[in-house]
Structure 1
């Protein structure tokens, strides 16, 4: 079925006229685009971006928030998919950005006009209200449990942090979360501090407590060979950690 046909059918059922399903090959084409950054392309084998974005339901015309996305990995693929009527806003904590990174992103924005960068302290994200149809957060949610005085990462309360994210999403919005898997445990802060991993049940409970509905889980990034006792940056497992993929939705 052609994208135009899908759009017309969607309008008949009350869909927003600004959001249509992307053409079936739009995501694959964006992943395969020769304009992508070579260093990011190298990450594809371990991240399976086409499968991830298809599962999360990225669509033409969406307004997207890409959390912790200043490396452009997801933005350079999502921007052509959402198209000129869509928007990709990258949020990067002030603790994780510097002048060099800002300059690189500015050069990217000159090429990709529907992308912009915003920044605010990790502990106090400023994202607006009812602003986004789609969020992606890749391998970063666990850091809400992390503290690091040298990096000026203060203690955060996950419930308060997620309240801000919930407010930023439109009713019906998709929130796609990927994170490193930890073994079941009762001390999320200690686990994150030591390994930068999170128990999937802790992550799921946090988002559900914030009001999000879990609407899908995929296992295509699971890795049974990961023994879960290594720091995610250990060369033995880096880029190949066992990962959970959750799709949440803000109720309408």
Structure 2
């Protein structure tokens, strides 16, 4: 997912960095092992750490969970079975194209994804939306740079929308490609990487409070200075076969994992 504009720099608020991965509750572990998951998606667990990530965000099977801009539905394959019995899962994205990955899952396996609710974000008149104040958890994975490509206003609007969805005391979980703080902020405009300070800045401007950070999705091999941005690395391999073995050895991007709360 691609391109961005100018950046918001703020000092990093203090918040605990998780010293180790939180214990994974049994329902999350079971959802990650769901037999309905696509094998190519399962193969990426070693980079995306879904069980540990959802445990850090505190997702429960009884929650109303909104995934914002779910793309191809990688996390849908986990969140749908996790919430199917006692919770609720919304996939929220651009109505005409942003939910096609989730719709494809529903077409392929209607029974497994029958309870998934689709919502438009942003929404036009008459399109279904996530009701304000209804969500226990809102999650977004590797999307902030896309909103930033649309300009600072779009990023602010998306964080404001996520704030409205949540109940007071609800959790926002963000995973994003991480640009070192020492790097020129102009790199955010084209690389697909974001500074942690920029993401925190957008979230706090919307009213969120930073509640914690985890290094569960960190990758120290990623220097975030590749010839075609983050898409140089797997799974995109933007340079195709050029230096492919080198990029495969690095693995997927270094990612921040941030937990915010909506104040009560």
Global fold match (TM > 0.5): yes
CA contact (8 A) 1:109 1:116 kept: no
1:137 match: 140
Structure-2 change in CA distance of 1:76 and 1:104 (3 Å): closer
CA contact (8 A) 1:143 1:192 kept: no
RMSD: 2.9
Q: Does 1:229 align with 2:241?
A: no
Q: Does 1:207 align with 2:210?
A: no
Residue 42 of structure 1 and its aligned partner are, at CA, apart by 1.9
Cα distance in 2 for partners of 1:186, 1:226 equals 14
TM-score by length of 1: 0.78
1:52 match: 53
CA contact (8 A) 2:91 2:99 kept: no
Partner deviation per Cα, 1:53-86 (whole Å, 9 max, x = no partner): 1111111211110111142221221222224231
Unaligned runs of 5+ in 1: 1-22, 148-153
One of 171, 175, 190 as aligned partner of 1:174: 171
TM-score by length of 2: 0.74
Unaligned runs of 5+ in 2: 1-23, 238-246
Q: How many residues align?
A: 223
1:12 match: none
Cα distance in 2 for partners of 1:159, 1:98 equals 21
2:192 match: 196
Cα distance in 2 for partners of 1:122, 1:144 equals 15
Cα distance in 1 for partners of 2:210, 2:72 equals 28
Q: Secondary structure at the match of 1:209?
A: helix
The structure showing larger relative contact order (alpha-carbon pairs under 8 Å, at least 6 residues apart) is: 2
Q: Secondary structure at the match of 1:113?
A: coil
Structure-2 change in CA distance of 1:163 and 1:100 (3 Å): closer
Structure-2 change in CA distance of 1:180 and 1:116 (3 Å): same
